[in-house]
Structure 1
Amino acid sequence: MSRTLTIPALDGSGSFSAYVAVPASGHGPGIVIAQEIFGVNANMRATADLYAEEGYVAIVPDLFWRQKPGIELGYTPADFEQAIGYFQGFDLDKGIEDIQATLNLLRTLPEVETSVGQGLVGFCLGGRLAYFAACRTDVSVAVGYYGMGIEHALDEAPKIKGRLVLHFAELDGYCDAAARATITEALAPNKRIEIYTYPGVEHAFARLGGMHFDKLASMMAQQRTIATLKRELGPDYDLSALWDKHCEYEFGTRNVEDTMATMVAEPYVNHIPTMTGGVGYKQLYRFYKNHFVHGNPPDMALRPLSRTVGSNQLVDEFIMSFTHTTEVDWMLPGIAPTGRKVELPMLGVVRFRGDKLCHEHIYWDQASALVQIGVLDPAGLPVAGAETAHKLIDETLPSNTLMARWKTSEGT
């Protein structure tokens, strides 16, 4: 659900275009996506689409229009040279005016929930603009990725009224350690400002497909960004109820179509010990249909132990139990049914995008599973069977039973 709009400039000098992405729900809080130096290219539009999946009406204004409308560059050396030229010719003051004009128009869109304020997320040039937008516009929350030159404009910091989050890269040559230290020291008194530095990564670490893209840093920064936006703007989803419904379809009604309907368009699942699951709708559907939903033993059950719910992620701790009466492809692939009872402590890390599951990381002790079905002899090995589940429920059961030297420290 996307379209292109025209925004009149505040100074009356003309108008500029903006790409708008709308959530599937048809409404949500409004945010501006401030572009990199490469213009409103496919990457920026995909970023807006991503935030629309998170539940926001995301708008990407063409901030280079005063030099040349419609700039869309790639990432070749020639493109980079052009991009640097546009960056050097960029009028920051006018750019901030154009962001305010974008915010003004955003509030008029019927899809935008105006009662909660508006946000801005910027990258590269946009990361720099996020700081100035926090200082000069009426934005409620601004998030900047690897903005440069902020250390030279800290005299404007007292004007920040909303929340500001700045993500920096440790190896960023455009904002080195000295610059980051200056920024951090100046902004530290404002408790509504958060600053994060990601070790071992370079400028543009969150640009998907870029030469410096780092998935771990990008995921951590994205989680912090969404947490900030939700804290200030919403939307609020009952992630616990969404996960419960997903599990009901998996283990209760055992309906593959309903299970997939709880997930984003291209989700993934990874059962960490066995690396089973699927990436993308097609492969995950195949996995659920042929190797999971209909293949689990009839008495398989989940007993919840604890649940931690964050802004866009949920962590479940539970005991899974079943009788090994069918071949369990995803957990015990290639092992014929043994008829043995299995009880396993498990951990599920579930990420959401908006009101849909994005991915699942499921952990358990595979050695414990193999011991319980009788294919791994625990003698002489530091592994245990169902005792791991029993002690998780009853912490008073003996500890250190696998430690032969435990008795030697008695009384010390």
Structure 2
Amino acid sequence: MTLSRRKFFSIAGATAATTLAASPLEGLLARAAFGQTTPTTTGYGSLITIPGAPLALPNGFQYREISRTGNLMADGFPVPSNHDGMAAFQGPRGTTILICNHEIGGTGTTGKVQVPSDLAYDPACRGGTTTLVIDSNRQLIKQFASLGGTIRNCAGGPTPWGSWITSEENVDIPGSGRLQYHGYNFEVPANATGPVKAVPLKAMGRFNHEAIAVDPATGIVYQTEDTGDSLLYRFIPNIPGKLVEGGRLQALRIGYTSSSAGSVNTATGFNVGQTWTNISWVDIPNPDPTTDNVRVQGRNLGAARFARGEGIWYGNGEIYFCCTSGGPGSRGQVFRYTPATNTLELFVQSPSATTLRAPDNICVAPLNGDLILCEDGASPNFIRGVTPDGKLYDLARNTLNGSEWAGACFSPDGKTMFVNMQSPGITFAIWGPWETRI
């Protein structure tokens, strides 16, 4: 079904307003502001380890392996490796469409996302996306390559107009087999039935992209950058819903004046509950440089620094984003930006490695409003939840190996969570009593 951009924005806004009645971290913020320790809860109960199973889940939850690296796809090629960011879309006849990133670097044919060379962005490069069609019984109908010729497609994000933005966490230049500059976003329609032509969205910036989130009320796209001194960006499109038509790239500033000594570094020195109301946005003079200096341009104009911006998600009129190595001990932070009030808040700083470590991809569970955090730290890696009243809990644990979790997202009806284990490259469907958290 084809919907206008206006209708997409309206549907997305109404859905967020009805399913996310409370900010997932408001309770945590309130408690931390009064000096109390970060609260925890058992969530859905203790995680149960089953011999031979690749993950541990609470009682009552089930999982199914949907796809694995090396399986044969409908296009005749094997499923690529390095599963990362992902989103779910409503498909026809009760199906769910998943678009999955494959964070594959370098050049060559081994493990490559295979698409016709005339559709690939840089034919020698191995990264890209695959599309999976899942039936109502959580069974894979088909999988196929949907974009190729890119490098290290890390995360990205869904749009309210029915597409996936896939992002390169790489700024390679032509040479050593590469024909193009890298470091761009690309768009993949959810209704694509085969590979689409990879068109770089150059006005959105050339840098180590991590993820994006779209404010459906305005069409503005917020972007994270995975470097130790990254910035938080927003892209104001010339035409909402048509990113290929260009726009303005900006970076967030905190309390900057012409006489300021420098930009604010949010990585250390702040407590949970810190709120910045003196936010402004600076235009990036050259969003598409041949050198990796977009963040330097922003920092020279006072843009704030973040410690490895990672996953970002829109929910309830707010933008949540993770900084994997921010906070004490570099264990991770979660920020919230509210576009309506132009304010930024530090919501979470990991109090200990056993509670939360290296939050990366992020999403919001539709049925209960919980924030879902995928860890990318030292083994063991968990999927953590944060309840609407601010209590942290364990949702799943990788019992197979030390790989990160990535790409957590929910089916349109909210009953199934899809998530990736990056190595050896597995996509899981997880379902259970989402409404009956303890």
Q: TM-score range by the shorter chain?
A: under 0.3
Normalising by structure 2, we get a TM-score of 0.25
Q: Which has the higher helix share?
A: 1
**Structure 1 length-normalised TM:** 0.26
> Of the two structures, which has the highest relative contact order with CA contacts closer than 8 Å and spacing of 6 or more?
2
